[in-house]
Structure 1
């Protein structure tokens, strides 16, 4: 019989344990990567056994990540109810699922079995049938074969039934267990056996969890702002938290889900039974084993720890912050009690930060935004979150808007855009120009270095009576070099950020000029004269280079003219040779006719024309060779720059 109700991993289990203790949740690490680390304390019995109740939704992750903490113990095995469908559970039973729809259905499925029924009267016998009474009575009737004959009992009077076959009675009980285990997404009990652990121990696993959210309150006053960061978290662990140590992780770890609690079957092709042919399988030579290297230990010296103090409760830390290479950890200042399914929000950081109101124009956007520029002068990064901006500079606190704050590493600043700034009028413009920076000729190759200039600008008009600090993101290629401005500019992704202050009512521009050097190479012999003429006429070259290129153009044009004359002479010669062939054919055709002399004269004229054109073709070829040699010789000896 195939096992259908249990799932075994990591070993073979011993018998049940009466003194095993349920694991108790003691520590939680919530990650913004959508997973949580749960740590439990438990007391293993003398056989190293304990149990853990976990939600059905966490079983895949538990089977993937369950560990026992401590060097002297390890998980030997875990037993839990399987996730097989009812059809699999009933595959090993003499009954099917439909038999449990009603008592009449169960009795029909047990036809032939010995039973004792009780109720209106008690009767013992083998089940013959369960059928309705003929004549319209819809009440089912049970028919038994007793020692003295058939017994008919209305099902409405049957209040109890006992099977005579103990094995069959156990099968019914097993079927009911299968129904119970397959019902709902409730808690499942894991029976855990530890190897090398007795008494107090700790277990841990990683499972899916709602990511915790960070929010900020920034209250502006003068040139600074009071920043307070809060965390919003949920307890969806399936366990109530009672004095649990909670740590919040702001990072993006790689986390995977695999349906390990689900049974998989490989589809195999069906082949006919071999009746006559026989096959000889090849001899297996085995597989090559490959050793796995052990992972390197983590360098604990890379951790940097600091504490952020609460301004509301002097000296009491909101959270202990640890920054690691891939994440930021916020260990909450006190243990947390939170019922399963509830939400909690609490502050994790607080302090003053430099804050400045600006007008911000994002890259490729045409709508200015009101923003506040804040700087993180702390020792650790700030996690991303939504920020609510308030203004207390005029006494009464006013709401300005909401902003999105990305990850802010220590020492960096960010712009928090919280509203539109419709009073600002802007207009984007662009321009481009090109000039030759240098040129040289060597080994028959002209090398020209050109500088392409790009101008990106935003024209700004401010309202009367209002000054602004304007921050503009301008796009720029990575190949461009910034020429101007020389200050108030920083490199950003795909461009530059320029900051410029404007007086009240001022009109001006935020402008940046970029340069890109490009080298172009021209083989003088192969390059068309028209391309070289562009540089001759451009006026950016030195007089010597300009004169040299003009001479190259002149000689290339001479060679091109000689080539055209050769083509013309060749075309004329081919036409004359065709005339000569026709005259010769006509002369042959007339024989001794009176026209013979006329065709003979035409043949003589055609032959003379062919001879003349051959001489002209030869002369044109000689002139072409001379022009090309003249060009090659000039280029060969040309060296400038």
Structure 2
């Protein structure tokens, strides 16, 4: 049976030839390569944990015996996640030997690296021709040229010969072998089977065929897990890869005489190419931080070149940071020293820690970094455990990782453990029941003018008494056996209350009316010339509700929450509930009743004005206010008096400047007339006298201007200084 498993080609018709792999003989002859030719062990998926963050934890487990190999295939897009998260465990007296995976080399290059190149679909003769000089064993059929039996010899080569075929001759391929009795020529058509005596060639041929088999899907990569040990024992592999998020949908059944009944379903998908058969499934309502990192492609970094020093024998030393760790000294010590690990402590390289599952590590080897998520599937008796998500997170803190993550640090998780094993074939989806309980709920009508201006919405004030975290999703509401509407709920913690609305309440109408509003100045204060005015702004809104239905209504009025705008409620009952967006006021409206509810809000508007030399109008405005204090009013009146003195001086200065400007213009006119008038005329003498008199007046005005400029500056400065120091 084992030999048949590795048979490459059979003999379906007469004349056909085949190549058989002599596994049994090879196993008896080969020692070191024995592990590679043992059949791969199958590890089915036994546990699936799906998260809301687009990843899933998959666990495979089974029994192996002795030296074992497990073959897995993954889409290339999952390899990075696999390398980042895969955990291997051997729960017996075994160890993890190695994990190998396909590189990104082209298939042709990979095939050409084997002793037998299977590129370009080689023929039987083409394969034999690559192995000239190798010993083989062939089984031949009975013909006129030879007796049936087995021949042992060495491949010399393959040639074509002319052989008769009826009335003509045809070219036939002939295998030339060097046997004990000498050279033998065997027609390829007479060969029934052929096996290689060299176990290395057998291994190379098998591995090349495996590469060909896996290359049928170019997007899949092979991963091989090797376990070393003795006897039968349980092994397990767990990993985190991309997975569709699981979703929820609910049905809410309401009845007048009974509590609302909530039924919840989880929608899970199996997007893999493998059937899930009786797997233990858990659905975690939480969003752990998850990222991708390129670990698949080879990465190279630039390394510094260190010039050797005379008599120096130490390598460059780097030191760890100031955080507490297992290393108290340099990361790299002198040559010849390797990193030491405490083998007596749990999580070290020996003893009862995680390292015991990896087996003994050679001196100087790097310590594995275990991620113990897979331990959630194992107890001392080898059975699976229904651990909570918190337990899974807690187990990540074991081994050499330390407290890299703690339960609750990434948010509060809640896990739904499916009570019965789940079977889901590949590329299929399923609905799994997760909630089915009565919950507490009160019927309400919810009015929000921004949602529906005229009518409130029929709703329910739901309290999550199911004992489970309710994941966000749609809810279909039924009144008895009648469809009542749809709604949607966000994540709801246990015992948390949440409003749901599912239909328009046509029997109730609400009319909101905004009042005129009031503004009143409440205080005026001055500090160092800055006057602060506080104005109280009052606004009110009246909601008039009429209930035309035949049943009483508990009406919830959602009023905008304007706390961020500094509004606060006054002369109004406290809301039944407040959220960052709205304040909810509840009133009872009986059947056929009309009721009004007024919401009054106020806030203080504060404005500031700096008193400057141009703020006379503001000063007069403040003086006229009744809310201003007597002392501040007196100070502001004094400022007006000082301002009046400054204004008087400024007016005099402006008058002098105007007179000087008038005299300057008149003198220009007189000088122009003098140039045009004969000196002997009487008018000329008149002009000269007038010009002389004006010069005397200009001198007097200039002196007065100088004094007024100084007086105006002092008056302005006095006024500005006074304003800048007004405080009350």
Structure 1 distance, partners of 2:529, 2:218, is 81
Distance 1:191 1:495, change over 3 A: same
Q: Choose the corresponding residue for 2:690, options 575, 582, 601.
A: 601
Quote how far apart the aligned CAs of 1:236 are.
3.0
Quote how far apart the aligned CAs of 1:240 are.
2.7
Distance 1:405 1:492, change over 3 A: same
Counterpart in the other structure of 1:36 = 56
Greater displacement, 542-551 / 403-412: 542-551
Distance 1:446 1:123, change over 3 A: same
Quote how far apart the aligned CAs of 1:618 are.
3.1
**Structure 2 residues not aligned, in runs of 5+:** 1-32, 131-156, 175-202, 309-314, 327-346, 348-385, 391-407
Asked if structure 2 preserves the Cα contact closer than 8 Å seen for 1:320 and 1:330, the reply is no
Greater displacement, 31-40 / 499-508: 499-508
> Does 2:74 align with 1:55?
yes
Counterpart in the other structure of 1:402 = 486
1:503-531: CA deviation from partner (whole Å, max 9, x where unpaired)? 33445555533333454444445672334
Counterpart in the other structure of 2:578 = 491
Asked if structure 1 preserves the Cα contact closer than 8 Å seen for 2:646 and 2:715, the reply is no
Counterpart in the other structure of 1:233 = 268
Distance 1:287 1:530, change over 3 A: farther
Q: Choose the corresponding residue for 1:251, options 286, 301, 314.
A: 286
Distance 1:257 1:246, change over 3 A: same
Distance 1:408 1:115, change over 3 A: same
Q: Choose the corresponding residue for 1:65, options 85, 88, 97.
A: 85
Structure with more of its chain in strand, by fraction: 1
Structure 2 distance, partners of 1:254, 1:592, is 107
Counterpart in the other structure of 1:439 = 524
Counterpart in the other structure of 1:80 = 101
Counterpart in the other structure of 1:9 = none
1:596-627: CA deviation from partner (whole Å, max 9, x where unpaired)? 64256335415514632652563475256346
Structure 1 distance, partners of 2:228, 2:703, is 106
Quote how far apart the aligned CAs of 1:349 are.
2.3
Structure 1 distance, partners of 2:113, 2:388, is 56
Where do 1:385-464 residues align within 5 Å? 385-392=473-480, 397-423=481-507, 424-427=509-512, 429=514, 433-455=518-540, 458-463=543-548
Quote how far apart the aligned CAs of 1:492 are.
0.8
Q: Choose the corresponding residue for 1:530, options 601, 605, 617.
A: 617
Task: Provide the TM-score with structure 2 as the length reference.
Answer: 0.60
Asked if structure 2 preserves the Cα contact closer than 8 Å seen for 1:83 and 1:182, the reply is no
Asked if structure 2 preserves the Cα contact closer than 8 Å seen for 1:32 and 1:250, the reply is yes
Greater displacement, 418-427 / 558-567: 558-567
Where do 1:165-180 residues align within 5 Å? 180=213
Quote how far apart the aligned CAs of 1:18 are.
2.1
Where do 1:281-296 residues align within 5 Å? 290-291=320-321
Q: Choose the corresponding residue for 1:618, options 688, 692, 707.
A: 707
Counterpart in the other structure of 2:562 = 476
Greater displacement, 423-432 / 220-229: 423-432
**Structure 1 residues not aligned, in runs of 5+:** 1-12, 126-169, 269-280, 298-318
2:494 is paired with a residue of what secondary structure? coil
Structure 2 distance, partners of 1:55, 1:629, is 88
Quote how far apart the aligned CAs of 1:37 are.
0.8
Greater displacement, 604-613 / 286-295: 286-295
Quote how far apart the aligned CAs of 1:341 are.
2.9
Counterpart in the other structure of 1:308 = none
Distance 1:206 1:587, change over 3 A: same
Distance 1:254 1:634, change over 3 A: closer
Structure 2 distance, partners of 1:559, 1:381, is 79
Quote how far apart the aligned CAs of 1:575 are.
2.7
Task: Provide the TM-score with structure 1 as the length reference.
Answer: 0.67
1:16 is paired with a residue of what secondary structure? helix
Counterpart in the other structure of 1:128 = none
Structure 1 distance, partners of 2:113, 2:618, is 88
Distance 1:609 1:493, change over 3 A: same
Quote how far apart the aligned CAs of 1:441 are.
3.5
1:345-399: CA deviation from partner (whole Å, max 9, x where unpaired)? 232223222222222244733354322221124555322121111113xxxx221
Asked if structure 2 preserves the Cα contact closer than 8 Å seen for 1:460 and 1:507, the reply is yes
> Does 2:439 align with 1:353?
yes
Structure 1 distance, partners of 2:672, 2:601, is 77
1:446 is paired with a residue of what secondary structure? strand
Counterpart in the other structure of 1:276 = none
Distance 1:545 1:22, change over 3 A: farther
Q: How many residues align?
A: 540
Asked if structure 1 preserves the Cα contact closer than 8 Å seen for 2:534 and 2:605, the reply is yes
Q: Choose the corresponding residue for 2:603, options 503, 508, 516.
A: 516
